[in-house]
Amino acid sequence: MTNEKTGPNRAQNKAHAIHTKIKLMTMIERMAEKRVGFSCWKLFTINYFRCYEIISLLSVLFLKIIELSRNKG
pLDDT of residue 35: 55
pLDDT of residue 64: 83
For residue 71, the one-letter residue type is N
Return per-residue pLDDT of the chain as tens, 73 residues: 445 555 667 777 777 777 777 777 777 666 666 655 554 555 555 555 566 677 777 888 888 888 888 887 6
pTM of structure: 0.35
**Cα(21)–Cα(1) distance, rounded to whole angstroms?**
29
**Cα(58)–Cα(73) distance, rounded to whole angstroms?**
23
Facing residues of 39 across strands?
45
Count of positions (residues) in the chain? 73
pLDDT of residue 19: 76
- Report in angstroms the alpha-carbon separations of 69 from 9, 37, 41, 57, 72: 14, 33, 31, 18, 5
For the chain, domain boundaries: 7-72
